Structures are given as structure tokens and as C-alpha cells.
Structure 1
Amino acid sequence: MEYIYDMPTWMAAADLIIGRAGASTLNEIAASGTPCIIVPSPNVTDNHQEKNARVLADRGAAQIIHEADCTGQALFREAQVLLNDPARCRAMRRALLNLAVVDSAERIYGAILELAKQN
């Protein structure tokens, strides 16, 4: 597969996303509303990917598999469980969309304008 330039479109079209727990990735997943299995990297400063993943998982928006437990069989098993549970996928989708910040560019622009007015 070639590099994907339009990741939001692909994420929205997917039935399930398996990915890491970087802040940008999780924001894109939330905006897509696509059910997900998150594998936080243990090789990051202050274990921040675990903390990022926990924000979603604690709200029913993601399933976590830790890297030490992440085998092909474990991923396949968890993917089967999720994809065979439409109610859980719908709940996960709702939770993700509730966490999504889809107007972040407008918020940043507004904050910049406010700061510019003060100076």
C-alpha cells in the first residue's frame, strides 16, 4: 500500500482502526468516530501514550492492548470481538464523536485574534 495522504477519509471509511496513541492520531480517530484498538507505545516520554489511550478507553471510546500483550492472535481476537458486537461499536462511535474537537482550527484562529487585539 502506498502512503495515504487523505487519512481522515480512510479512517472514516474503515470498520475498525488499529493504531498507536499519539495525541494527533487519537484526535483523528475521535473525529472519524471509527471504533478502535489502541496499542500505546511504551517507548515515549512519561508514558504519555498510555495516558492518552486511557482518556478514550475510560470513556468507552477505545479498546487498549498493551504492546507486551500485542500479538497477531490478540489483535485478531479483539478485532473479532468488536466487529461482532454492533451495539458496542455504536457506543464506541458515539463516545468518540463526543470527545472529538472538530472545530479546533476555528478555536485556534479565534484565540490568535483575541491575543492580537490585546497587543
Structure 2
Amino acid sequence: MPGISGADSPWLNDPTRIAKNIAGIAWECPSTFFEEGAGMATITLLRRQAASDYLFAKHGVARSRQTLAKYACLGVGPTFQYLGRVPVDTPAALDEWVDSMLSEPTRSSSKAPPSAACGGRDDR
């Protein structure tokens, strides 16, 4: 991909376009890699601790980075990608995972939903 690597790339060296924050890595890349005329697209990638913090801050779901790592090994957690050797999550994938764990709205606690794959108990 032309323009992505190398010290002569102006958008890689511009600190206003490369933003790192507490929640993870925000990466901006030229629109030519996505849609024409879309400007700069931002992809937010969260490492495990940042993903854990995001889940708690946005959804109130408390899962440690170690638990997310175990879920990745078991294949029952949120979908993730690798950035080199580092596993990273996107906020959209985390939101989708939380939505998949929610039951339908109910008015009675006697109609307990089936246990969730992650953290649910089977002996109800």
C-alpha cells in the first residue's frame, strides 16, 4: 500500500492525525483505502485491558483482561483481530458481543433465560 510505510509519509508523522488515548489506539488512514471522498477514516483498536475498561464503562459488564483472554482461547468471547502478534478488539465487536448476551425483555423472573455461554450457570 503506497504511503503507509516510510518516514516520508506526511500523515504518519503528523501528531494531530495519529492519536493514542487511554482506551486504546486510534488509527487514521487515507480515504483511498476505504471510500472516495470520505475523508479520513478512524479505526479504534483496543488492547485487552482497554477492552475490559470499555466494556465496564459503556455497558457495565465487568470482565478482566485475563477473562477476555480465556474467552478468546475458548472461542466464546467477542470477535477480535491481531495487530501483528497483539490481539485487539474493536468497540463495534465488543458492543455486538454484549448485545448477543442480552435476553429478550421479560416481566417475570420465573422465566429465566437460558444460561449464557460466558459466565452463566447451567444449574438453574
* TM-score of the two chains, using structure 2 as the length reference: 0.26
More helix by share: 1
Higher strand share: 2
Q: Radius of gyration: which is bigger?
A: 2
Query: What is the TM-score normalised by the length of structure 1?
Result: 0.27
